Structure 1
Amino acid sequence: MRADAGGRRAALVTAVVLGAALVLVIVLRTPWDVLAVPPGGRTQVDPTGGLTADQLRRAESFAAALRPASLVSLLLGLTVSAVLALTRLGGRLVRAVAAPLGGGWAWQVLLGVLALAVVGRLVTLPLSAYGEVVRHRYGLSTRSWALWLRDVAVSTAIDAALTALGLLALVWLARRVPRTWWAWAGAGAASLVVVGSFLWPVLMEPAFNTFTPLESGQLRTDLLALADENGTPVEDVLVSDASRRTTALNAYVSGFGSTRRIVVYDTVLDRLPDDQVESIVAHELGHVATDDVLTGTLIGALGAGAGVAALGWLLTSRRVLRRAGAESVGDPRVVPLLLFLLAVGTLASTPVQNLVSRHVEARADVHALDLTADPAAFVDMQRDLAVTNLSDPDPPVAWQWFFGSHPTAAQRVAMAADWERLAGQ
């Protein structure tokens, strides 16, 4: 008992130390002030973002149709996960699906995760389908239902497979080193965050889209010159066939080292003039210039390590394990509980992640303006993105606080006005 108590205290201390390090990194690396205050004060935010009345009504109508379903889907998925985790139902399911293959603990973990993922997906599938109907109704989605089902199946399979392998390693560690499994698992989780942040775009993007080089021309030349001015060597400029699924507009920079490339949606090339495309790409290059991927990776690694250590502290409690019908962390029946706790941790960290993200995105906006020196193109781009992507330029405060990963379109337009006033001093 003393050894168990000592291990529990060690897990708690580790979680606190890593959590404190996480807070310190967030405080020091988040760009809280991205732009100086211009003479006369900040530009007042126009809640319309410069959209016309019809454009605004359409965006608000789309949001009103989608937000309730999104919230219900989130709560329903969490409720089902809680029921499976905090009763004996989840443990029974884990054992039942592995029984035809002999019921070994490894099969219980692997097939249990898959079964639980499928159950969770099926429960929320009608709401996902409703969301797709709404996107079709407003012209945002171009996917056939066959392609939608294929995307749902592929994403569910990838998520389930990666989760199953991770939990298989965790349960194996708990069976081999029951007192220190959380330390090894935490180190492994942090390492996977680091590896995954660099390999995920290269390995997973081709599962959903096809990429072709942007044809030679002035835009390609200008984008490569923009990257060169940014000090960001890129291998290529690629076009993603995003129009197979959506009319939304986007671009990004992915990969690292010799695999780094600029990726532009084909919808962007079809709908936006070159100066606006350059403004979008300049924003993405801003993330590279300030090492946002590295910072995000560090935050993710510390968060993963702290989270697993917290699991080590929490799952030492026999009372918690008994709720799930598990005898120990090495018992495969703990899998539903682990999935539920991971879901709760992810949800709880969402507003913090989005708070950091909004400031990081604002800094990238300033970088785009510095790099292109074209605030008019930036403002036009933001409005076109809002109109095409049906983004509410001024969402409810609570929604933006919890779910908003970017500044609102209205805030970005006001920030561009501040930049222009500072540049004209």
Structure 2
Amino acid sequence: MASIFRHPATVVLSVLLGLLVVVGSILVPWAVQAPDRAAQEAAVAALSVDAVALGKEFAAATRPGSYIALALSLAVALLLGLTPIGSRIIAACGRVGRGHWLAEAVLGGVVIMLIAQLVTLPLSAWRYLILVEYGMSNQTWSAWAVAVAKSYGVNIVVAAVMLAGLYGLMRWSPRRWWLWAAGVGAGLVMAMSAIYPVVVEPLFDNFTPMPEGPLRTELLELAEHDGVPVSEVLVSDASVRTNAVNAYVSGLGPTRRIVVYDNLLAAPSEEVVAVVAHELGHAKNGDVWIGTTLGAIAVASAAAGIAVAGRSRRLLRAAGVDDITSPRSAALLLAGVALVGVLATPVQNLVSRQIEMRADQHALELTADPDTFINMQTGLSEANLSDVDPPGWLHWWFGSHPTTAERIAMAEEFRR
């Protein structure tokens, strides 16, 4: 244990975690506060009783499967990582490549990741059936399977690159690999923020330029008035897979664009403008940069954390490996990532909610039209079958956005 505290990675990890707290305290808009409970209850009371009930019914139908999937994937990851089972599977995969370290790292690591994901596949299929039952999915079974396969494919590619890079650095610099991994990992997070919209998003949706017309002109003028340069206004063919509606601004610099779901275009144009005004708030306030910066520091911290954890002989013995730099430790690393991910979820969602509330404020200030904002939030909640006022503890843990009740109450406060 003493060797862990003496290791340079421990000092770096402490500094990075402190930096994460400092940067988060400065960049995240903590001053933005949700309306009080009485205002939220008044907002719910003004909504359709049937729509509120349907949203809660839909949430009650989908939540159990989501929670079971989360618990199951975590349990399998921990089983594979904290017992010799995972290292043995990786060793077996390595024999396909004649024991080469790259075969163990990439093939073995990917197999471990897929096992943890595939055990939840029946629960994903159950969720798909619920979405179909409630009219939220337009996909056939074959289209759903293709979408799942694409998602797994993206995960495999990302995991293979990360595992090959990490264990390659370990072999190249056995003593200082974690410093290199911290820098390279942080850089990759930055790069992915820019290339994700043009590389990954087209794998799941087709995008076409919004035709010339009053709405496109209004959206571009809104962005110009807001001082947010965008390269294009695109329409996503989301309706082929879902009846949920949305819009977003993605990308950095030359890749930044406004994306509107095609099924959102059925809403009144002023409500589409209100949705986009919210999304422009993210670009205006540099929220992509905030998330990217925090993510880069977190990834660098993870690299140092792996080096620190790798000094624990107890962990290594439990995982059935001799050294953290052995590719057979991939199962242990993935278990740690899964565990930290679950534990960090409330903090990540708290940060996300603060950022989303600021974007809501921005939309209200940019459009100066709280009535349309309220109509827009009401329409979105009905179209997406949202639980407009979920239980507090669930929202604290899993809620990445303010509730509909909070957002409507905010608009009412703005009106007053």
Specify if TM > 0.5. yes
239, 243, 248: which one aligns with 2:244: 248
Deviation at 1:49, TM superposition (A): 6.2
Cα deviations by residue, 1:381-401 (Å, 9 ceiling, x for unpaired): 101111111110111111100
| Deviation sequence 1:295-354 (CA, Å, 0-9, x none) | 111111111111221111111112211111111122111011111101111111111111
Equivalent runs, 1:202-213 vs 2, <5 Å: 202-213=198-209
TM-superposed CA distance for 1:93, in Å, is: 1.1
Determine the C-alpha separation between the residues in 2 that align with 1:246 and 1:106: 40
Counterpart residue identity of residue 387, structure 1: E
Q: Is 1:279–1:372's contact at 8 Å kept on the other side of the alignment?
A: yes
1-structure distance, mates of 2:311, 2:407: 47
Amino acid at match of 2:311: T
Counterpart of 1:234 in 2: which secondary structure?
A: coil
Q: Secondary structure at the match of 2:7?
A: helix
**Aligned residues: CA RMSD:** 1.9
Amino acid at match of 2:228: T
Alignment of 1:295-374 (within 5 A): 295-374=290-369
| C-alpha distance in 2 between matches for 1:112 and 1:244 | 36
Provide TM-score, normalisation by structure 1: 0.94
User: Any conservation in 1 of the 2:281–2:360 contact (CA below 8 Å)?
Assistant: yes
Paired amino acid for 2:271 = Q
Indicate the residue corresponding to 2:182 in structure 1.
186
1:253 and 1:260 in contact (8 A); partners too:
yes
1:77 touches 1:123 (CA, 8 Å); kept in 2? yes
Report SS of the residue matched to 1:44: helix
Residue aligning to 1:115:
111
Please state whether the residue corresponding to 1:231 is helix, strand or coil. coil
Partner residue in 1 for 2:138: 142
- Give the letter aligned to residue 357 of structure 2: A
Residues 326, 332 of structure 1: 8 Å contact kept: no
Q: Which residue number in structure 1 is paired with residue 14 of structure 2?
A: 16
The amino acid that maps onto 1:409 is T
Deviations 1:59-105 (A, max 9, x none): 11111111111111000001111111111111111122232332211
Q: Distance in 1 between matches of 2:262 and 2:407?
A: 24
Mapped pair 1:257 → 2:253: yes
The residue type equivalent to 1:410 in the other structure is A
CA drift of 1:36 comes to: 11
Determine if the alignment matches structure 1 residue 380 to structure 2 residue 378: no
Q: Partners in 1 of 2:44 and 2:81 — Cα distance?
A: 44
> What's the CA shift string for 1:172-219, capped at 9, x where partnerless?
222232222211111111111111112112210110111111111111
Structure 1 residues 21-30 or 70-79, which shifts more? 21-30
Distance of 2:307 and 2:96 partners within structure 1: 31
1:218 has 2:198 as partner: no
Unaligned regions of 5+ residues in structure 2, if any?
A: none
Matching residue's letter, 1:252? Y
Distance 2:194 2:364 in 1: 27
Q: Secondary structure at the match of 1:45?
A: helix
Aligned residue for 1:330, secondary structure, equals coil
Q: SS of the counterpart of 1:239?
A: strand
Letter in 2 for 1:298: T
Please, which of 39, 56, 69 is the counterpart of residue 73 of structure 1? 69
Report SS of the residue matched to 2:86.
helix
Paired-residue identity, %: 45
Aligned residue pairs total 415
SS at match of 1:305: helix
> What's the offset of the Cα at 1:118?
2.4
Paired with 1:201 and 1:7, the residues of 2 have a C-alpha distance of 41
CA offsets per residue over residues 118-175 of structure 1, 9 Å max, x none? 2122210111100111111111111111111111111112112211211222112222
Secondary structure in 2 matching 1:232? coil
How far apart are residue 35 of structure 1 and its match?
7.0
Partner Cα separation in structure 2 for residue 260 and residue 49 of structure 1 = 38
Change in Cα spacing, 1:231 to 1:35, as seen in structure 2 (3 Å) is farther
* CA shift digits 1:17-66 (9 cap, x unpaired): 110111011111121223799xxx99721262632121111111111111
Displacement of 1:366 in angstroms is 0.7
Q: Which residue of 1 aligns with 2:402?
A: 407
